[in-house]
Chain A
Amino acid sequence: MGEPTFARTFDTLRNTVTLIARAWLAAGARTFGVRCADEYLGAWGAEPGTMDLRAPIYAYGKIVGEVCVAGVADAGARARLGADAALIARLFEIETELDGMTGELVEAQDQLLALYDLDRSIRKHVSAPDTLTAVCREAARLVKVSGSFAWLAAPAGEWIVQAPPDGTPVERVRALIDLATARGERVLENDPAENYFVIPLLVHGATRAGLAWLNKRDGAFTSPDLKLARAIADQAGAQMENVLLYQETLAQAKLQNEMDLAVRIQLGLLPRTQPVVAALDVFGASRPASQVGGDFFGYLQRADQAFTSFVGDVAGKGISAALLMSMSYTVIRNAMRFMPAPTPASVLGRVSDDLYDELSDLGTFVTVFIAQYDLSTRALTYANAGHSPVIYCPAHGAAQLLIADGTAMGVLPGRWWEDQRLDFSPGDVLVVATDGFSEAQNAAGALLGYDRLLELIEATRHLSAQSIVQELYAAAGKFAAGFPQADDQTIIVIKGAG
């Protein structure tokens, strides 16, 4: 639009000035004219020649032109011409201001449209680099600079994007980022040789992002440029927050998927059918807590061997416990399968040799109980690496807790376990549960505890293995009375059959 001048604006004033001119001609003037820089912008009446009176037009503190009249020269006319010059000056000023306001309105409208475009173009992107690139490109275009860059530092990564690439060295970009981040406020340099404007942004309440403009094309950032830049930066900041939020949600969804997968793998490892064993009634089950835990159980029936069952529990919760559970389960099963004459204690020793270092590095341990049933002697041989509760309830006698013969695996290096022998007659019951049972809680914080478990088993020993399992789950559920199950509850009941 350029600088408003009197000559350019005069056309819009011409109608009004014509009225003034006619009044002069009616009052006896021969010619009335308005001049600017020795040229007539308008003349009324006879061709302008020598003028008798002149009056300067003062606007914005300087002479922008003059009015002149020929054919009258008295004092009254002189005063009147002065007044008309002042009137035209005032008209010129009003017109100029109106022009300016219109210009600002048009510019505001342009900026709104530009921001709308910006918003639409960056909203399409959900990854951080794509968003930054779109922001930079639009920012450079709208503010008319040769280059722009944006940065974003988040837990998921750090990005610095230059668009369009204007050859600014990476070190220079990094220095400007550091400068703005350190100051925590906008940095403007308007030196014609090198100008830039850098805006650090608060994303999620911390200064971790920003936007910068380099090398304004016509030499300097004007006040409207800076206003527009700030508006773009606000918009960009909001979009960056969205992107981060989206990525966090995505990461959470991914983690949840992995958790679900871990649970499925875990459940897939556990036996889906109950074993059929001569002279035994066996039933096992596992009820996972809401969070993935580390419980496991299994059976092994090898033609040449006694029936073997095992129950284990990895200390801890979550993915790490689930992974260790899978690993322990596999190592135990393989040991039982491939050792020439596996006994519970020798299997524990072998498994401990395999797992001790890993468990120790991860700061955790695994409890494992293994039992073998020999039909010819009607005896159970077992070994217990720190597992509890294990409850033995003879057909005619009090239920009792069996103490482990060595600590859990991963606590101490070496082989600490010995085979224990338990005569197992019809009606005798062995319950191998995990601490999810003994530590089942109610809202008051009370634990189900060992004593209640012993009573429950004595009261249900006449039932089938499956019914005992069901009764124990029911009792744990009734005790918790809706209080969430904090840990996996796994149980195997082995009962001597007739």
Chain B
Amino acid sequence: MELASRPLDKLTVITLGGRLDAYTASTLIKELDQRATATPANVLVNLNSVNFIDSTGLAALVQGMKRCREHKGDLRLCGLQRPTRMIFELTRLDKAFEIFATEAEGIASFNG
């Protein structure tokens, strides 16, 4: 899994690539733990280049989302590809997260 973190004015954009699964989720959790120390903890995770996400990966995103909300922020998602989007829809995680089609829209949602 590739992970790139880009701090912006009001949020951090984390871009993931490859597989987000039981073997790589801990890297994301560590990164999110660091981001969630700021208040407000605002994170946008770009999943555009993620080609596989399993339940451990989803749990890492959920955990990060809760952590951010505890710190008066939020973790939002953008760029979900079809298979990933399908998992979110089938499991109704699309109701738990705010999801945007593009990174620009995701960033704008925090700046609004």
Give chain A's interface residues, CB within 8 Å of chain B: 313, 315-317, 360, 363-365, 367, 386-389, 401, 403-408, 410-412, 416, 435, 439, 445, 447, 449-450, 486-487
Interface flags, B43-73, vs A, CB<8A=1, else 0: 0000000001011101110110010000000
**Is B105 part of the binding interface, using a Cβ–Cβ cutoff of 8 Å?**
no
Query: Cα distance A487–B60 when bound, in Å?
Result: 17
Partner of B59, one of A364, A403, A404: A364
| Chain B residues within an 8 Å CB radius of A410 | 62
Contact A315 B58 (CB under 8 A): yes
Partner of B91, one of A317, A364, A387, A449: A387
| Chain B residues within an 8 Å CB radius of A317 | 22, 56
- Tier of interface size on chain B: 20 to 34
* Given A407-B95, A412-B96, A388:B87 Cβ within 8 A: yes
Smallest Cβ-Cβ distance to B89: which chain A residue: A403
> Chain B binding site: helix, strand, loop or mixed by DSSP?
helix
What are 27 A-B pairs at a CB distance below 8 A? A315-B55, A317-B56, A360-B66, A363-B59, A363-B60, A364-B63, A365-B55, A365-B58, A367-B55, A367-B91, A388-B90, A401-B90, A403-B90, A404-B90, A404-B91, A404-B92, A407-B92, A407-B93, A407-B95, A407-B96, A408-B93, A416-B92, A435-B54, A439-B52, A447-B52, A450-B86, A486-B22
**Is B1 part of the binding interface, using a Cβ–Cβ cutoff of 8 Å?**
no
13 further interface pairs, Cβ-Cβ under 8 Å (given A404-B90, A435-B54): A315-B56, A315-B58, A316-B22, A316-B59, A364-B59, A367-B55, A388-B87, A388-B90, A401-B90, A406-B95, A411-B93, A411-B96, A449-B83
Smallest Cβ-Cβ distance to B51: which chain A residue: A445
Tell me how far the C-beta of A144 lies from the nearest C-beta in chain B, rounded to whole angstroms: 54
Query: Cα distance A364–B58 when bound, in Å?
Result: 9
Tell me how far the C-beta of A359 lies from the nearest C-beta in chain B, rounded to whole angstroms: 9
Query: Cα distance A11–B96 when bound, in Å?
Result: 103
Tell me how far the C-beta of B1 lies from the nearest C-beta in chain A, rounded to whole angstroms: 13
| Chain A residues within an 8 Å CB radius of B96 | 407, 411-412
Partner of A403, one of B29, B55, B83, B92: B92
What's the count of A-B pairs with C-beta under 8 Å?
70
Which of B52, B55, B91 has most chain A Cβ within 10 Å? B55
Smallest Cβ-Cβ distance to A363: which chain B residue: B63
| Chain B residues within an 8 Å CB radius of A403 | 89-90, 92
Interface flags, B70-108, vs A, CB<8A=1, else 0: 000000000000010011011111011000000000000
Query: Cα distance A365–B66 when bound, in Å?
Result: 12
Contact B86 A386 (CB under 8 A): no
Partner of A365, one of B54, B59, B83: B59
| Chain B residues within an 8 Å CB radius of A487 | 54
| Chain B residues within an 8 Å CB radius of A407 | 91-93, 95-96
| Chain A residues within an 8 Å CB radius of B95 | 406-407, 412, 416
| Chain A residues within an 8 Å CB radius of B22 | 316-317, 486
Tell me how far the C-beta of A293 lies from the nearest C-beta in chain B, rounded to whole angstroms: 10
Query: Cα distance A287–B89 when bound, in Å?
Result: 26
Tell me how far the C-beta of A482 lies from the nearest C-beta in chain B, rounded to whole angstroms: 19
Query: Cα distance A132–B61 when bound, in Å?
Result: 48
Contact A363 B29 (CB under 8 A): yes
Contact A313 B66 (CB under 8 A): no
Query: Cα distance A412–B94 when bound, in Å?
Result: 12
Contact B92 A406 (CB under 8 A): yes
| Chain B residues within an 8 Å CB radius of A316 | 22, 55-56, 59
Tell me how far the C-beta of A412 lies from the nearest C-beta in chain B, rounded to whole angstroms: 6
| Chain B residues within an 8 Å CB radius of A364 | 59, 63
| Chain A residues within an 8 Å CB radius of B86 | 450
Interface residues of B in 10-63 (CB under 8 A from A): 22, 29, 52, 54-56, 58-60, 62-63
Query: Cα distance A435–B54 when bound, in Å?
Result: 8
* Given A316-B22, A360-B66, A367-B91, A439:B54 Cβ within 8 A: yes
Smallest Cβ-Cβ distance to B62: which chain A residue: A411
| Chain B residues within an 8 Å CB radius of A416 | 92, 95
Smallest Cβ-Cβ distance to B60: which chain A residue: A363
| Chain A residues within an 8 Å CB radius of B29 | 363
Tell me how far the C-beta of B66 lies from the nearest C-beta in chain A, rounded to whole angstroms: 7
| Chain A residues within an 8 Å CB radius of B87 | 388
Tell me how far the C-beta of A318 lies from the nearest C-beta in chain B, rounded to whole angstroms: 9
Tell me how far the C-beta of B46 lies from the nearest C-beta in chain A, rounded to whole angstroms: 21
Smallest Cβ-Cβ distance to B58: which chain A residue: A315
| Chain A residues within an 8 Å CB radius of B89 | 403
| Chain B residues within an 8 Å CB radius of A445 | 52
Contact B91 A388 (CB under 8 A): yes
